Structure 1
Amino acid sequence: MALQQAKVFVEDLQRGMFVSRLDRPWTRTPFALQGFYIRDLEEIRQLQKYCRYVYVDVVKTVGDVGVKLRKLTRDASAASGSNVAPSRGTPRRIPVAINCKPVQVKHDSYAPPEPVRKEAAKARQLHDRIIQGMQEVMVQLKTDRPLPTAQVSQTVTQMVDSVLRSPDAFSWLARVREKDEHTYSHSVRASVWAVVFGRHIGLRRQELVQLGIATLLKDVGKLFLADTVLKAEKRDPREELEYRKFVDYSVKLLSADPNVDPQVLTIVQCHKEQHDGSGYPRGLRGGQIPVLARMCGIVTFYDEATNPRGVEFPLPPSRAVGQLYELRNSAFQEQLVVEFIQSIGLYPTGTQVELSTGEIAVVVEQSHKRRLKPKVMLVTDRNKTLLEKPRLFDMAADDDRKQAIVDKGKKSLAEVGLITITQDLDPSRYPQISVAKVRDQYLYEQRLPAFIARFIPSR
């Protein structure tokens, strides 16, 4: 069997590597997942604090570094004369090459995000207008009146500009489900994730608008499906064929409007195609699927995974990310899967998390360069008792303060006790925690900034 892992010293780690083993037990580190992609410099920094070397899965590693690792291991295997045949009775799997060029990514295309509270009020107003626009779309579909696509396009354009200023402001609105699920729809959430994703990889503003509009309107054809087909938990083959017609219905409806951008139609038509050709309606594969349609497919899957129909609470992001990752290079292009996970972070805004101290918190704002160290609102003590007043805790700032103490030689790393996120939590586990209330307190209450300025947790 060919070598699948490479021992890599932490000084040589790079983004895109898949860490499959450490040089010590996982439980003695802050890493919650037993196997993960290195997405940013902060994760490398954390590995350097806890390990001397790690083992990297050369097959799962992506990008140029993956190509180099696989070549090195093949050369090493050939030099050692290793040529082990598969065991008797085991079928030999012949991989089928999927023609798909890497997507050009420019992570620094836009300025660093502004503080989320600066953009929050504008984002909320825009979000309400988007919901109103979608309500009008559904009403006018039922009455055979022209779709208000011009108004929808204008509002999405404003949303794109808002996301370019501060992705977290709209991410909050995508993470928290309101009680009226009829108006807070999957399409609105998916559209937000699509624009956040596009900002991350450096799409041009026009492409962001096209992607946002297409993701928002991609499901309008579902209005013509019977409820028994649309809401069925499991569909028989006949029902599945009927369900898949919604894509053609959506394209037909939108193409009747001369104001709809042809690129939007292309995204809608291809967003259910899959990387290995198993999608619909045309069975396109790999590079045959437009990049923006591939991205639309990923955010559609992610939102459906985190917000499954008929479930009261959304699923924790790590579970949805795990499901998405399992579909890399089958349903979705692996490079884009990794980039999407990087764009939302392992702990997106609005996620309930448990800290290494035992306290429970809600992620309220991302640290742009250090995704594993966001700002969180502490909502319980270490005994899981609700606090009377949630307290803000800036994990990156706390890390920097403690690192400075270590650098001065006053204390060791073990003595200062760096605080980490140990896991994200299923919202149903602590239903007494209102994420929406935390959001409103952090984003919209005028008295909060002064309150936060006074609070620096003593650790």
Structure 2
Amino acid sequence: MAIQQAKVFVEDLQRGMFVSRLDRPWTRTPFALQGFYIRDMEEIRQLQKYCRYVYVDVIKTVGDVGVKLRKLTRAASEQAAAAPVGRSSRRVPVVIDCKPVQIRHATYAAPAPARGEAAKARHLHERIIRGMHEVMVQVRSDRPLPTAAVGQVVTSMVDSILRSPDAFSWLARVREKDEHTYSHSIRAAIWAVVFGRHIGLQRTQLMQLGMATLLKDVGKLYLTDELLKASKREPREELEYRRFVDYSVKVLSSDSNIDQQVLTIVQCHKEQHDGSGYPRGLRGGQIPVLARLCGIVTFYDEATNPRGAEFPLSPSKAVAELYGLRDSAFQGQLVVEFIQSIGLYPTGTQVELSTGEVAVVLEQTYQKRLKPKVMLVTDADKKLLAKPRVFDMAADDARKQKLVDKGKKSLHDAGFITIAKDLDPGRYPGIDVAAVRDQYLFQRRIPAFLARFIPQSQP
């Protein structure tokens, strides 16, 4: 079988090559995860800045360089086949039967600006909180669940996210002071629908996925607080904890209005790709696709918002944990797609720019995920700005690229600005991300920190 990838040192990179892997975790670089074609020298310079070598997809590489790579790798493959079989090569890899999920990235229209959808999203979000509070009250009192009302608000949430994913993503990113109502299940449901929109799920599937993710943990109400909050559990305690899945299914199945697909997602969302999950130890293709999605967003939200932590984790750390579990706990293809759906720097992420300034990501640029719209909140010396301002990185890039194309500036002199890294929330206590969100989305005048946030468009 022909080799699909070739290791290429960065000094040998050429236009037309398709870079599929790097020599280091991609979260330590500004590059997209799923790979990209090298189109110009600037991309090669960026790769040379961060990597010693990369892996190039031989099949996807185009032009003369693609022809040469395919010849070279074909020859290497033939030599490997003719070589004596060593002891280490006799190991038979474990094959997990799991077909790729069909992805339809262009199913929905381009997202609308978050500002236009923000008020509706906040209103819906408040309705979801009230609905979840009512669900918990009803479960504790063994009364019928208000699933019809919850279903209506989930439908509205799906439609809102279809219009503008960033508006609801803001509500999932920022942790409010009242964590009892701003629950993990609500955040996970938002990520689930954003994820489903990205891969082109049908609207009905999005509603099933959102409903299941929102209600998947109702069975935890039957567990003791000590069991829920324990950082480590003895084997017997872990078995008891895992029963929450069965409890959730039992509670939901008592309602004749609950969609069977919702029950299936809830029952299977803790199963894992390699069969190490629970309650039935399903693996690979045995796990329903929507349950796989639910499992990924559940892990991501638990990683970004660990129980008992004062601050959530930075997205890059959570993504690194998730990426490390690809093709073991989770299907690798879906891990990649999820990370692409939320972006390397989701809304609300605190980032340090190549200029040294600190900013908060306001909104994604869906054509250029590494160049979002941000609000600059400190100068290069990390001092809070008196008047923080909105900075559109993609628009700034386009303006500078025009100068380069016209020969008025070189690539070096143009001063392209990049995101150097994301920051742990709480790194700079003076930055109030919730205040940034409210000022940007809702344009309200509020005192103290918010009073200084007067967005100014970048010329």
Decide whether the 8 Å contact of 2:31 with 2:370 is kept in 1. Answer: no
2:458 is aligned, of 445, 450, 456, to 456
Decide whether the 8 Å contact of 2:371 with 2:418 is kept in 1. Answer: yes
Shift of 1:455: 3.5
Change in CA separation of 1:86 and 1:384 when aligned onto 2, cut-off 3 Å: farther
1:103 is aligned, of 101, 105, 111, to 101
The residue number in structure 2 matching 1:77 is 76
CA distance in 2, matches of 1:405, 1:5: 36
1:11 and 2:11 matched: no
CA distance in 2, matches of 1:44, 1:144: 63
CA distance in 2, matches of 1:91, 1:40: 31
The residue number in structure 2 matching 1:328 is 326
1:255-308 deviation per Cα after TM superposition (whole angstroms, max 9, x unaligned): 000110000000000000000111100111000000000000000000000000
The residue number in structure 1 matching 2:303 is 305
* RMSD (Å), alpha carbons: 3.1
Change in CA separation of 1:10 and 1:149 when aligned onto 2, cut-off 3 Å: farther
Q: Which runs of 5+ in 1 are unaligned?
A: none
Decide whether the 8 Å contact of 1:39 with 1:342 is kept in 2. Answer: no
The residue number in structure 1 matching 2:188 is 190
Change in CA separation of 1:81 and 1:334 when aligned onto 2, cut-off 3 Å: closer
1:20 and 2:18 matched: no
Decide whether the 8 Å contact of 1:19 with 1:36 is kept in 2. Answer: no
The residue number in structure 2 matching 1:37 is 33
Change in CA separation of 1:411 and 1:351 when aligned onto 2, cut-off 3 Å: same
Change in CA separation of 1:404 and 1:36 when aligned onto 2, cut-off 3 Å: closer
Change in CA separation of 1:451 and 1:241 when aligned onto 2, cut-off 3 Å: closer
Q: Which runs of 5+ in 2 are unaligned?
A: 446-450
Of residues 90-99 and 224-233 in structure 1, the stretch that sits farther from structure 2 once superposed is 90-99
Shift of 1:359: 0.2
CA distance in 1, matches of 2:38, 2:368: 5
What is the TM-score when the length of structure 2 is the normalising length?
Answer: 0.88
Shift of 1:32: 3.7
1:158-193 deviation per Cα after TM superposition (whole angstroms, max 9, x unaligned): 000000000000000000000110000000000000
The residue number in structure 2 matching 1:131 is 129
CA distance in 1, matches of 2:298, 2:433: 23
1:341-383 deviation per Cα after TM superposition (whole angstroms, max 9, x unaligned): 0000000000000000000000000001100000000000000
Change in CA separation of 1:362 and 1:39 when aligned onto 2, cut-off 3 Å: farther
Amino acid at match of 1:76: A
Shift of 1:85: 7.1
SS at match of 1:57: strand
Change in CA separation of 1:41 and 1:343 when aligned onto 2, cut-off 3 Å: farther
1:91-114 deviation per Cα after TM superposition (whole angstroms, max 9, x unaligned): 964211111011000000000000
Shift of 1:230: 1.1
Change in CA separation of 1:154 and 1:14 when aligned onto 2, cut-off 3 Å: farther
5 Å-filtered alignment, 1:62-73, equals: 65=60
SS at match of 1:80: helix
SS at match of 1:209: helix
CA distance in 1, matches of 2:29, 2:355: 18
Decide whether the 8 Å contact of 2:27 with 2:316 is kept in 1. Answer: no
CA distance in 1, matches of 2:39, 2:274: 31
SS at match of 1:429: coil
CA distance in 2, matches of 1:78, 1:381: 53
5 Å-filtered alignment, 1:275-286, equals: 275-286=273-284
1:440 and 2:442 matched: no
The residue number in structure 1 matching 2:289 is 291
Amino acid at match of 1:18: R
CA distance in 1, matches of 2:350, 2:415: 22
Decide whether the 8 Å contact of 1:187 with 1:217 is kept in 2. Answer: yes
Decide whether the 8 Å contact of 2:195 with 2:338 is kept in 1. Answer: yes
Change in CA separation of 1:258 and 1:456 when aligned onto 2, cut-off 3 Å: same
1:209-243 deviation per Cα after TM superposition (whole angstroms, max 9, x unaligned): 00000000000000001112111101110011001
SS at match of 2:344: coil
What is the TM-score when the length of structure 1 is the normalising length?
Answer: 0.88
Identity of aligned residues (%): 65
Amino acid at match of 1:436: A
1:220 and 2:222 matched: no
Shift of 1:413: 1.0
1:422 is aligned, of 406, 417, 420, to 420
Q: Aligned residue pairs: how many? A: 441
Change in CA separation of 1:401 and 1:326 when aligned onto 2, cut-off 3 Å: same
